[in-house]
Amino acid sequence: MQVLSGKMRDFPSCFGENGVQVADSSSSSTSRAAQNLVTCVYQCRLRGRSCLITVTWSKNLMGQGLGIGIDDSSNQCLCKVDIKPWLFSKRRGSKSLEAYSCKIDIYWDLSSAKFGPGPEPLEGFYVAVVVDRQMVLLLGDLRKEAFKKTNVTPVTSNAAFISKREHIFGKKVFSTKAQFFDNGQIHDLVIECDTISVNDPCLVIRVDSKPLMQVKRLRWKFRGNHIILVDGLAVEVLWDVHNWLFGTSLGNAVFMFKTCLSPEKLWASQPLSDPNLLPWSFSQRFSDSKSQSHGFALILYAWKNE
């Protein structure tokens, strides 16, 4: 298995010129309560130009919050809307802005939204971004209500879901839901790692209860990368658990799950050689990440509960 040098921020760009940076948040003084947020990034086009729409869901003692930002291909912010957490305020509304000499309308209705333990709604909501009366991004299951409210032609948007960043918490087991491509199956993703009660920590990653990756001698391999197969799709896993093992203060581990080359090319280019890895997966380092398609990346900040 190959070990990455440098910090998580030095991971290769996932998406070429429109890459989403992996931040090393372990040094942040922000409290855990303030870090209960999920950030989703979508790629779209505004008047022929490539843009990124960032949707951030947050949760704190004041309730749920929502933020929407639109950046161009050079990461320059075109517009941003922050909807403060609500307990007593209206959970539906709209806002109009201008960018690239075009009108941008943002609509949301979370008045009937149902939430799980995290800040992201599960159902009963919609969030819509309309540019020059065309639906650019539509989230949620209330699609009919969204098209009726926005009064635009009910045509599916061509926005691509390219990145999700999430904070997860646990003692030895960290779990979340993962969907690795548009309209794909939603999987149960579990990271298991006991770094306190054992002398030789081991990292195990399971998808739908099936162990797809195991890293032994973790103190020597606290940073690295590995390939697993999910739904026949090759997914590169990158991890940095240095703070779990050697941190002097409360810190987080960082994991990235990134769709990459086809499994056929991976099997042809890299034989299984590491006896510490389970037999249905293997490791490979990419020399040119920009040659791949944009794909999707799930970035998890894993915090150990006291």
State residue 10's pLDDT score.
37
Provide the whole-model pTM. Answer: 0.76
Q: Residue 271 has what pLDDT? A: 39
List the domain boundaries for the chain: 8-22+168-304, 47-158
d(CA 85, CA 48): 34
pLDDT of residue 249: 58
Alpha carbon distance 268, 291 (integer Å): 17
Nearest CA among 42, 77, 46 for reference residue 56: 42
3-state per-residue secondary structure call for 131-163? ECCEEEEEEECCHHHHHHHHCCCCCCCCCEEEE
**Cα torsion angle, 270, 274, 275, 281, sign:** negative
Helix, coil or strand: residue 55 = strand
Nearest by Cα to 180 from 156, 163, 205: 163
Q: Answer for the pair 40, 161: CB distance below 8 angstroms, yes or no.
A: yes
The answer to whether 181 and 232 have CB atoms below 8 angstroms apart is no
Each residue's pLDDT expressed in tens, for the chain with a length of 306 residues = 333 333 333 343 333 333 333 334 444 444 454 458 899 999 998 877 889 999 999 988 778 889 999 998 777 888 888 888 776 667 889 999 887 778 899 999 999 999 888 899 999 999 999 998 899 999 999 999 999 999 998 887 888 999 999 999 888 999 998 888 777 788 999 999 988 777 889 999 999 999 999 999 999 999 999 999 998 889 999 999 999 998 755 678 999 999 975 545 444 444 333 333 333 332 333 323 333 345 899 999 999 876
